[in-house]
């Protein structure tokens, strides 16, 4: 049993290459979408094992399955019980692990499906959004010792009372990285339907360039800002335990993108990439009485709802010195739930009103150079407004700059910024060439 | 923890009616086939709880779901690994329990899904055909104590190594009865899409009559001979622990059929009903050398394959005194698997050949009067041959007489026998009127 909270970076991973490696291979929903693709997963896993490595496989639900189950639940109840939701949606991965293990058997290998509660992957009890607390390594080591390939159900865990939990959308990435950390794996390979991490989505911006490597911090920003390659939390765990993550395609043998610490990642770049999150809503509380507790009350209310809030800003109102404006951005899908709590709060205030704008997209530029180059916000603003794009919000942090634009022009905005900051060119940086300062990023 | 092997009939079940009853309600696949029907299950369960009873619900997979999953597995491998099959098909019930618990919540009640490994229902390790060893009652009692309705996944259990197991087709009945036995429930109610047990399938034989009650032994025969109302093993467990089973429709409030011990069941009848199993194959080993070990070898071979064999008979061959014929009946679905072992066995014999006839049906007449009335086989034979039906095999035991006929005429055979033995009439018996002799039947 290895406690994820206390185990540091493992020295096992720095051994000489000649020894037997341990690889955790995670396959997403599109990689197990049908029988043919599951056979491909079996083949990749067996080839790796036959080449002399120990292999642990983690799989997601077949693509579309989780949505099918969720719609079944929502037909029954608009707000289904979260504990029961987890019991239900965990079946998606359960089917995948069984089929994948069967496919490995059918190809002449030895495999054994392992469910979240069988590992076990212990989590807290936040149903539908649980956090991994620790991962037991015993049963997996035992299976590996017998020459088997353990096929572990991603996305699911179990709480201390034996309730089934799930880790939130994309949680299989987190499962894979947590297993890799617990086992001290050499690499956590994330097989997906894209071949790596790009400076910008190549479907949106044709000059988008695949990165050979990216630092954990930059990947965390990109993922939390809309890049759908990986779940944010998985990268946080990878960073914490220094797990080397390799994002690659399950359809080719090509190298993908390595997610590693900044020393190993830096290509001399200070700007890494662009991410775009559509379906955002801007919530503004305008002209409310200045109350120091209001922002706190708001923030804790939204935290309680487990709504992810971004670009919260707080500015003096225009009406008088005694009023203030508060604005923040939340995903449109969380708006209904948030308003159930916001509306009574606003109604209880003496002055002020709530303004909601929907149909927005958040376009973000990520890289270690953002803070150190004060010209970047101005260049971003100029590039977009020159092309007639209205920027309706801006926030700058250590590692990123995000702006809000209309959803209809968000693809155009991504392309403009990709060009303006020279992200398509391998050796161009978006600001003064900086020496990497590992560990200083937020 | 209550060991099913050692717990006898519970005296709790004979208490006065005024006390709080404990009801186990099992709903089959057609009763949870869609969102509307699941709401009906929630309603039935809540009404019962509100009337003052403790309720434990057991559900099957939504109808069609198990077949969908099996076909997925068979697309991947013709003989999928049994351990993984169980992991996969257990998800059908997992989805049902979650949805049912959600529906009870949505209707204002308190429910909690409980999976096989969460009860736990401990079984042996015969994947896809596991037997229940014991049922832990603690977690269910605790949920009941909190006013909750535990919604238990039928069909599934867990072995001593925490592997998921399933109990074979119709295994949810067994789950329900085993839970009822462990909890000392007053009644195990089996809700289904028919309204009880009939003397013959009313879709085949319009004069088929619903029985008010039936003895365990007769029900075991009917179920093992093709009546699809209940899984045989569930009735065996009910008999062993004296659990009163009530088979009824989930679409009406009408009384169904009670399955109880013979003292309470007897309506003065010695013939209870007819069952028909289609899809049977007759396997004949003709003209083999007389070897006393051969029948034993055959029987153990088939037992090893877990193939259910019926109507095994062994007769002297016609060719010479030194040869013999052996014939038996097995389900067509097991034929391929059985031949993988039979063919080498036959090839190793000096003389003899294997003859297979497919497309047969086994029609069986069940009742305590069979053995005591020697005229029954002759009357059965006459009734069928008079109508031009060829009887290609006959076996008589304590409680039943079975004959093999062509599948194409099996419905006709059922109707002929139903008429010939007067099963549609409430007060007519098929032979001398006997006093029930409880416990003497096989």
Could you please report the per-residue DSSP string of B56-123? Answer: EEEE-PPTTHHHHHHHHHHHH-SS--HHHHHHHHHHHHHHHHHHHHHHHHHTT--EEEE-TTTTTEEE
Cα-based torsion angle of the residue sequence B152, B156, B160, B163 in order, rounded to the nearest 10 degrees: -120
Q: Order the strands of the B273-289 sheet from edge to edge.
A: B310-316, B323-331, B273-289, B353-366, B400-406, B394-396
Please judge whether B76 and A118 are an interchain contact, meaning their C-beta atoms are less than 8 angstroms apart: no
Of A95, A101, A112, the CB nearest to B91: A95
In the predicted structure, residue A442 carries a pLDDT above the cut 60: no
Query: Which sequence spans correspond to the domains of chain B?
Result: 2-11+19-193, 274-420
- Over residues A287-292, mean pLDDT: 73
Of A81, A105, A118, the CB nearest to B102: A81
Q: Are A102 and B81 in contact (CB under 8 A)?
A: yes
- A71 and B CB contact within 8 Å: no
In the predicted structure, residue A314 carries a pLDDT above the cut 80: no
Please judge whether A98 and B84 are an interchain contact, meaning their C-beta atoms are less than 8 angstroms apart: yes
Residues in A 21-60 with any Cβ partner in B closer than 8 A: 35, 38-39
Identify the band that residue A18 occupies on the pLDDT scale cut at 50, 70 and 90.
low
Higher pLDDT, A296 or B279: B279
pLDDT of residue A431: 33
Taking the C-alpha atoms of residue A188 and residue B25, their distance in angstroms, rounded to an integer, is 47
Please judge whether B95 and A118 are an interchain contact, meaning their C-beta atoms are less than 8 angstroms apart: no
Share of chain A above pLDDT 90, in %: 55
Share of chain A above pLDDT 70, in %: 86
Identify the band that residue A358 occupies on the pLDDT scale cut at 50, 70 and 90.
very high
Closest chain A residue to the Cα of B86, Cα to Cα: A98
The answer, yes or no, to whether ipTM is higher than 0.85 is no
Closest chain A residue to the Cα of B120, Cα to Cα: A162
CATH architecture of the domain formed by B2-11+19-193: 3-Layer(aba) Sandwich (3.40)
Of B69, B95, B105, the CB nearest to A88: B95
In the predicted structure, residue A269 carries a pLDDT above the cut 70: no
Q: From chain B, pick out residues whose CB is under 8 angstroms from the CB of A112.
A: 83
Closest chain A residue to the Cα of B66, Cα to Cα: A95
Note the pLDDT tens digit of each residue in A138-176.
999 999 999 999 999 999 999 999 999 999 888 999 999
Identify the band that residue A399 occupies on the pLDDT scale cut at 50, 70 and 90.
confident
Out of A16-20, A230-234, A275-279, least confident range: A16-20
Q: Is B228 annotated as a binding residue?
A: yes
Please judge whether A84 and B38 are an interchain contact, meaning their C-beta atoms are less than 8 angstroms apart: no
Higher pLDDT, A14 or A342: A342
Averaged pLDDT of chain A: 85
- A75 and B CB contact within 8 Å: yes
In the predicted structure, residue A288 carries a pLDDT above the cut 90: no
Out of A55-59, A64-68, A327-331, least confident range: A327-331
Tokens representing A171 are 């949680």
Closest chain A C-alpha to B274 CA, distance in angstroms: 39
Higher pLDDT, B155 or A11: B155
What pairing do the DSSP bridges indicate for beta strands B394-396 and B400-406?
antiparallel
Q: What are the CA-CA distances from residue B8 to residues B12, B174, B235, B442 (Å)?
A: 11, 17, 15, 20
* Buried b / exposed e along B25-58 (16+ C-beta atoms within 10 A): bbbbbbbbbebebbbbbbebbbebbeeebbbbbb
In the predicted structure, residue A307 carries a pLDDT above the cut 80: no
pLDDT of residue A406: 94
pLDDT of residue B123: 96
Please judge whether B84 and A162 are an interchain contact, meaning their C-beta atoms are less than 8 angstroms apart: no
Tokens representing A353 are 């009103």
- B153 and A CB contact within 8 Å: no
- B162 and A CB contact within 8 Å: yes
Out of A35-49, A263-277, B114-128, least confident range: A263-277
Neighbours of A47 (CB within 10 A): 12
Q: From chain A, pick out residues whose CB is under 8 angstroms from the CB of B118.
A: 162
- B107 and A CB contact within 8 Å: no
Higher pLDDT, B370 or A84: A84
pLDDT of residue B287: 80
Q: From chain A, pick out residues whose CB is under 8 angstroms from the CB of B75.
A: 35
Residue by residue, DSSP assigns B216-272 as HHHHHHHHHTT-TTS-HHHHHHHHHHT--EEEEESS-----EEEE-HHHH-SS-S--
pLDDT of residue A15: 45
Closest chain A residue to the Cα of B162, Cα to Cα: A118
Q: Are A143 and A114 in contact (CB under 8 A)?
A: yes
- B82 and A CB contact within 8 Å: no
In the predicted structure, residue A227 carries a pLDDT above the cut 80: no
In the predicted structure, residue A323 carries a pLDDT above the cut 80: no
- A259 and B CB contact within 8 Å: no
Higher pLDDT, A112 or A1: A112
CA A322 to chain centre: 40
- B71 and A CB contact within 8 Å: no
pLDDT < 70 positions in chain B: 1-18, 265-269, 290, 292, 295, 306-309, 311-322, 371, 426-442
Place of tokens 């190298």: A255
Tokens representing B360 are 């047969």
Say how many CB pairs under 8 Å bridge A and B: 103
CATH architecture of the domain formed by A21-270: 3-Layer(aba) Sandwich (3.40)
Q: Which CATH number fits domain A274-420: 3.30.2130.10, 3.20.20.10, 3.40.50.970, 3.90.1150.10?
A: 3.30.2130.10
pLDDT of residue B108: 95
Place of tokens 């995948």: A96
Q: Which residues of A are annotated as a binding site for substrate?
A: 66, 93
Taking the C-alpha atoms of residue B130 and residue B80, their distance in angstroms, rounded to an integer, is 17
């Amino acid at each position: 049993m290895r406690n994820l909270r206390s185990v540091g970076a493992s020295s096992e991973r720095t051994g000489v290459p000649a020894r037997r490696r341990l690889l955790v291979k995670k396959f997403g929903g599109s990689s197990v979408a049908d029988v043919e693709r599951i056979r491909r997963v079996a083949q990749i896993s067996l080839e790796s094992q036959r080449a002399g490595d120990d292999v642990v496989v983690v799989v997601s639900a077949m693509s579309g399955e989780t949505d099918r189950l969720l719609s079944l639940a929502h037909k029954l109840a608009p707000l289904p019980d979260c504990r029961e939701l987890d019991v239900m949606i965990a079946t998606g991965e359960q089917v995948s692990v069984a089929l994948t293990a069967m496919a490995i058997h059918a190809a002449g290998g030895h495999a054994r499906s392992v469910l979240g509660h069988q590992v076990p992957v212990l989590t807290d009890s936040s149903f539908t959004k649980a956090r991994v607390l620790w991962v037991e390594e015993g049963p997996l080591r035992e299976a590996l010792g017998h020459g088997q390939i353990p096929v572990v159900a991603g996305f699911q865990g179990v709480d201390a009372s034996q309730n089934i939990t799930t880790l939130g959308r994309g949680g299989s990435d987190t499962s894979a990285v947590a297993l890799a950390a617990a086992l001290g794996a050499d690499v956590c390979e994330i097989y997906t339907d894209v071949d790596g991490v790009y400076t910008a989505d190549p479907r949106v911006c044709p000059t988008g360039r695949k990165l050979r490597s990216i630092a954990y911090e930059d990947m965390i920003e990109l993922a939390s800002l809309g890049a759908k390659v990986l779940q944010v939390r998985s990268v946080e765990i990878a960073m914490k335990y220094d797990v080397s993550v390799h994002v690659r395609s399950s359809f080719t043998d090509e190298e993908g993108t390595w997610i590693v610490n900044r020393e190993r990642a830096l290509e001399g770049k200070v700007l890494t990439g662009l991410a775009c999150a559509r379906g955002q809503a801007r919530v503004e509380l305008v002209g409310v009485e200045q109350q120091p507790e209001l922002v706190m009350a708001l923030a804790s209310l939204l935290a309680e709802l487990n709504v992810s809030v971004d670009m919260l800003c707080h500015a003096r109102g225009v009406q008088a010195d005694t009023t203030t404006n508060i604005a923040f951005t939340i995903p449109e899908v969380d708006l209904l739930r948030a308003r159930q709590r916001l509306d009574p709060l606003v109604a209880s205030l003496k002055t002020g009103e709530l303004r909601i704008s929907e149909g927005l997209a958040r376009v973000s530029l990520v890289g270690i150079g953002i803070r150190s180059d004060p010209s970047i916000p101005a260049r971003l603003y100029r590039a977009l407004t020159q092309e007639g794009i209205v920027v309706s919000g801006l926030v700058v942090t250590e590692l990123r700059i995000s702006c809000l634009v209309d959803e209809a022009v968000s693809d155009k905005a991504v392309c403009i910024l990709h060009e303006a900051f020279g992200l398509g060119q391998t050796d161009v940086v978006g600001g003064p060439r900086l020496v990497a300062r590992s560990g200083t990023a937020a």
